[in-house]
Structure 1
């Protein structure tokens, strides 16, 4: 079985029958399989746009067609059928027909030169602690698959809640990766059509990198908790003192006529939802919100339907949300109004709305966490793929960063304890410190040929006097390792 076929079956997780219902070439005589789900396949992107494809209900049919497909639905639907007598146009690949969720897919669209796909692995590991199962090459970028260890089934018993939960996880994955990677499409369908794995487009595949739905959910909850600080949480009794609808950004967005739906960016629907949250948090009557947003929608060159607008406003007034998030507001205004707008121009009444920390320069002492961040930032500017370390003296590094001696030592110790940096101090004439961030070392691991990775890990152990168990814990789960006796000199102080 080819690598592509194996990966496809691994993703589908027994969501289809093993054999074709009719005309099977391999079906045992006594086989009696029950009904399972269906997926959809498309032979070109152009045909996909018009839903011209095929319905696939068995693994046997997948194997027969995989080489002729460019796109598919990796998540399984309850059924699939055709909408025309000629059986050319498929239907059934809609969210309300999902049977099981097998994978999260992240689409990365790059208009210009591509970055190395290893950066996706690095970002995923660094931001989330999870690894992509597979990365596919696409004409304009990449698609990263994060395959579940076991399928998450969509059932009426759970009131189909798994879909909403899974969408939130998918959204958080995309937002986290977008912090490091250009071109991450945040707004595309979470469980729709994707590129199909083929021998000619698989750049990275490690089937052991799968995680349970519960692991993803626990991570997503943590991410959502971290973001609560960005959500306005003003007590109802104080709304008259500082209402969101009195903020400058509300009028700026209300009067923006260029809004439209746009792939990969927050578009019209997000603007309407954010404005509706502002009205809701300000305790404006529902009718006032509806009137103002409908009037705004009518002015747009590309308005949305009344039903869609009603749905958005109803969601905002559902009581599930407190108010608009500051980072979302900033992004929308920079996208659709003016990228140069400052917070002072957007948020005219910060008191009672947002909790600010004192500017660092205004505090007598900086927190240790911030000194750690300064050290990591410094290392990031001094590290290169084939020289992922800094060799200098503590004094020179401290003076470069501006960190007091005791604070530097404490921050460095903490970074080492948390496996964020490795370092080694040498004494005597010509002595100094060799220090490398684990992130920089990871980037080198990803971009280094497999043949020399084991030698590279040995070099890390020897150079930084790091126990093999630590190296194994930090790096061995990063990429499959192929042992090699070849020596590597990347970590010699004189290496360029």
Structure 2
């Protein structure tokens, strides 16, 4: 959003004075804000090159169908797996917004060619993609634009202690990017494997031969599709003249074509060398929006090369520790819940339930405890056994407890599992 109806506020005091008055705001600070009309009703200035500092990453969870229905607890559960908890969760008309507030702001300067903005966008996109694997995340909204403003009637969760440094986010983001097997620029080239051109992939023809793209404001549509197709021509080694010719042909087939000068502008932007090629996640969004929502990666992208397929578990003599981990974590989850986040049992019962060898179970427990994925305490003797809990379940249970009961609840858990000097006491 570059402009919209509203007012320009220049201090924190002004925000507090207008408590519960506004519905939206810009949580990240701009150098200036001004008005686009004489009546001072419409604001402008919300552009990336006008950012002064970045305080917050936020995610928009949009619920469109009953199948996509989620709760704030679902967001918190995913955040625990992520390793970074949201500072705040706000209820919106269509779902939720999660705020991840930085420990200290990152300042933006033109001297550094807005490098901090570029780095922050990569982090923001990686956060959205992480949550988007299991929750209905809007992957297309502006990273630093308008968001829901916290009000007394919409805050579902808030803990000011959950703030992390920009470096912590960067370190995590680097790992996420490395795991994808490619590097990012503003948009990134990722087709199947080396040697495969983007114009030869299925998605390219699916978009190229679709005609019913719309071009409404705020919609990922006609312009985005043309830009993505142009990036594919660029990354595949075609000349800008060839791309322009084909984009004019494409534009002529559209139900709502663009003006010729707009087509030229889009193609030249794609060939500006600011981009390496069309982004895979963005391609998927476009194809699902305009071709078919049932399309999968296998339908859109080509992967080449040889693959070594793992034997079925029942056919192997040895089972990997990671598979035993999945079994044990599922067992803990099944036998406990948010209100009783641990189970009291015996190692023998666990071995019999999972079919896991004794030495393997001992090794697994040590590894998971060292990785801070579980807590356990063993009591020897006739009436002994093992108390076992996943860190995820414990944290969720603490989040659920009322503020006035939290201290005594954490103390009880600390005593149960000998958790002195562990991060759970800082929660």
Shared fold, TM over 0.5: yes
Query: Aligned equivalents of 2:267 and 2:345: distance in 1?
Result: 58
Q: CA distance change for structure 1 residues 248 and 91 in 2, over 3 Å: closer, same or farther?
A: closer
Give 1:140 deviation, angstroms: 3.2
Query: Aligned equivalents of 2:123 and 2:320: distance in 1?
Result: 32
Please give the TM-score of this superposition, normalised by the length of structure 1: 0.69
Query: Aligned equivalents of 1:392 and 1:265: distance in 2?
Result: 54
Local SS of the residue matching 2:4: coil
Q: More displaced, 325-334 or 163-172? A: 325-334
Query: Aligned equivalents of 1:278 and 1:316: distance in 2?
Result: 9
Query: Aligned equivalents of 2:160 and 2:152: distance in 1?
Result: 15
2:385 corresponds to 1:436:
no
The 8 Å contact of residues 185 and 264 in structure 1, kept in 2 or not, is answered as no
2:418 corresponds to 1:469:
no
- Residue matched to 2:405: 452
Q: CA distance change for structure 1 residues 311 and 132 in 2, over 3 Å: closer, same or farther?
A: farther
Query: Aligned equivalents of 2:411 and 2:375: distance in 1?
Result: 14
The C-alpha deviation readout for 1:83-134, integer Å capped at 9, x for no partner, is 332222222233332222222222223346864424434433431x333223
The 8 Å contact of residues 99 and 153 in structure 1, kept in 2 or not, is answered as yes
Give 1:180 deviation, angstroms: 3.9
The 8 Å contact of residues 192 and 304 in structure 2, kept in 1 or not, is answered as no
Q: CA distance change for structure 1 residues 120 and 267 in 2, over 3 Å: closer, same or farther?
A: farther
2:21 corresponds to 1:68:
yes
Query: Aligned equivalents of 1:371 and 1:264: distance in 2?
Result: 47
2:312 corresponds to 1:361:
yes
- Residue matched to 1:193: 146
The C-alpha deviation readout for 1:322-343, integer Å capped at 9, x for no partner, is 6667666666555544455566
2:110 corresponds to 1:156:
yes
Give 1:445 deviation, angstroms: 1.6
Give 1:394 deviation, angstroms: 4.4
- Match runs of 1:37-436 below 5 Å: 51-111=4-64, 115-127=70-82, 129-182=83-136, 184-228=137-181, 231-232=190-191, 234-235=193-194, 239=195, 242-259=196-213, 275-276=229-230, 278-301=232-255, 333=287, 336-338=290-292, 340=294, 345-347=299-301, 350-352=303-305, 356=307, 358-359=309-310, 361=312, 364=316, 365-394=318-347, 397-398=350-351, 401=354, 403-425=356-378, 433-436=386-389
The C-alpha deviation readout for 1:34-79, integer Å capped at 9, x for no partner, is xxxxxxxxxxxxxx99823222234444344344322222222222
Local SS of the residue matching 2:129: helix
The C-alpha deviation readout for 1:368-402, integer Å capped at 9, x for no partner, is 33432343344344442223334555465456556
Q: CA distance change for structure 1 residues 357 and 253 in 2, over 3 Å: closer, same or farther?
A: farther
Give the alignment's Cα RMSD to 1 decimal: 4.0
Local SS of the residue matching 2:312: helix
Q: CA distance change for structure 1 residues 58 and 322 in 2, over 3 Å: closer, same or farther?
A: closer
The 8 Å contact of residues 107 and 142 in structure 1, kept in 2 or not, is answered as yes
Q: CA distance change for structure 1 residues 158 and 387 in 2, over 3 Å: closer, same or farther?
A: same
Q: CA distance change for structure 1 residues 140 and 333 in 2, over 3 Å: closer, same or farther?
A: closer
The 8 Å contact of residues 187 and 265 in structure 1, kept in 2 or not, is answered as no
The C-alpha deviation readout for 1:167-219, integer Å capped at 9, x for no partner, is 2222122222223433x222111111222233333333333433333333333
Query: Aligned equivalents of 2:354 and 2:215: distance in 1?
Result: 44
Local SS of the residue matching 1:74: coil
Q: CA distance change for structure 1 residues 449 and 116 in 2, over 3 Å: closer, same or farther?
A: farther
Local SS of the residue matching 1:143: strand
Give 1:425 deviation, angstroms: 4.4
The 8 Å contact of residues 232 and 322 in structure 1, kept in 2 or not, is answered as no
Q: CA distance change for structure 1 residues 109 and 247 in 2, over 3 Å: closer, same or farther?
A: closer
Please give the TM-score of this superposition, normalised by the length of structure 2: 0.79
Query: Aligned equivalents of 2:399 and 2:217: distance in 1?
Result: 30
- Residue matched to 1:18: none
Q: More displaced, 443-452 or 261-270? A: 261-270
Local SS of the residue matching 1:51: strand
The C-alpha deviation readout for 1:328-360, integer Å capped at 9, x for no partner, is 66665555444555666555x5324xx756345
Query: Aligned equivalents of 2:214 and 2:334: distance in 1?
Result: 38
Q: CA distance change for structure 1 residues 261 and 404 in 2, over 3 Å: closer, same or farther?
A: farther
Count of paired positions? 417
Give 1:420 deviation, angstroms: 0.3
Q: More displaced, 451-460 or 387-396? A: 387-396
Query: Aligned equivalents of 2:308 and 2:375: distance in 1?
Result: 31
Local SS of the residue matching 2:127: helix
Local SS of the residue matching 1:384: coil
The 8 Å contact of residues 3 and 44 in structure 2, kept in 1 or not, is answered as no
Query: Aligned equivalents of 2:291 and 2:26: distance in 1?
Result: 36
